[in-house]
Amino acid sequence: MSTTTLDSPVKAPTFQRVSVRRRITDAGATVLVTLSVLVALVPLIWVLATVVTKGLPALMSATWFTHSLSGLTASSTGGGIYHALVGTLLQGLVCAIISIPLGVFVAIYLVEYAGRSKLGKITTFMVDILSGVPSIVAALFIYALWVSTFGMPKSGFAVSLALVLLMVPVVVRSTEEMLRIVPQDLREASYALGVPKWKTIARIVLPTSIAGIITGIMLALARVMGETAPLLILVGYAPFINFDLFGGEQGSLPGVMVAEMNNPTAAGSQRIWGAALTLILVIAVLNVAAKVISHYSQVGSRK
């Protein structure tokens, strides 16, 4: 019978090496994920490169952002996109003014007040349905209500109302997710100090989640600014500047692309790609603005 002395060396525990099969599986999964990312990036980069290559000559024109297409024939060169840029920004601004407070307040109700109430369930169900409504259906609804029933003229404001139907559910969903991320401990700590619920939401919950809320709002706005169906149904295209949102035809960036589709000349093709690149730049500026506002909002809330 062998005995173990105190002077006997103690063997360190040995760890089983990762099997060859697991390493091959891990390497294969990494390769598949990387290839999937590359495959997804190829069409995106291809589209962006095509738009930039074909649209950049239009943007290099000295009159592109300062003139309209009023008075130009199909084959005429020159002119600009000023009228369409003004129309797109005005329609987007009115849509944002209506959609942002409406969407944020609905999200606050669903997260902070609804609980398991019937009204909360109905609201969630309707938001889900509205999220899947095509843009042409929203445009037809506004046409039936605003133009046919109320007798109002086709206008840029009617387009904004249709865009509201498309933007509100996106704002509600993004804001709702950001509010749910806020830890419940922050709310309970505020309630323990005797702070009312509405003030807790205004001073604690919203500042904590403001960065994500702003990002979601900007993404929702960028999504609706490129919609074409409401423009075709609710307002005609005008190659001149129209600041009146309640009457008359109004130019827009998608409208320029649709109007120039029937123009087979080189000038028409250049305007199509130039309008597409301008719309991408507008959306990019909105995204950058969202990032900047989110950053400074976070810094301000920490102070």
What are the tens digits of pLDDT across the range 224-246?
A: 888 888 998 999 888 888 888 89
Cβ atoms of 175 and 218 within 8 Å: the answer is no
For residues 163 and 169, give the distance between their C-alpha atoms in angstroms, rounded to a whole number. Answer: 11
**What contacts 99, CB < 8 A, 6 or more positions away?**
163, 164, 167, 168, 171, 220, 221
What are the tens digits of pLDDT across the range 89-106?
A: 999 999 999 999 999 999
**What contacts 128, CB < 8 A, 6 or more positions away?**
169
Cβ atoms of 241 and 254 within 8 Å: the answer is no
- pLDDT above 70 as % of the chain: 91
- Domains in the chain (CATH in brackets) are 82-302 (1.10.3720.10)
Hunting for tokens 């960028």 — which residue is that?
222
User: Helix or strand or coil: residue 128?
Assistant: helix
Cβ atoms of 297 and 210 within 8 Å: the answer is yes
What are the tens digits of pLDDT across the range 118-136?
A: 999 999 999 999 988 899 9
What are the tens digits of pLDDT across the range 175-216?
A: 999 999 999 898 999 998 888 999 999 988 998 888 889 888
User: What's the predicted TM-score (pTM) here?
Assistant: 0.83
Burial status of residue 284 (CB atoms within 10 A of its CB: 0-12, 13-18, 19 or more): exposed
**What contacts 225, CB < 8 A, 6 or more positions away?**
88, 91, 92, 163, 253, 279, 282, 283
Q: Which range (65-79, 179-193, 261-275) has the least confidence?
A: 65-79
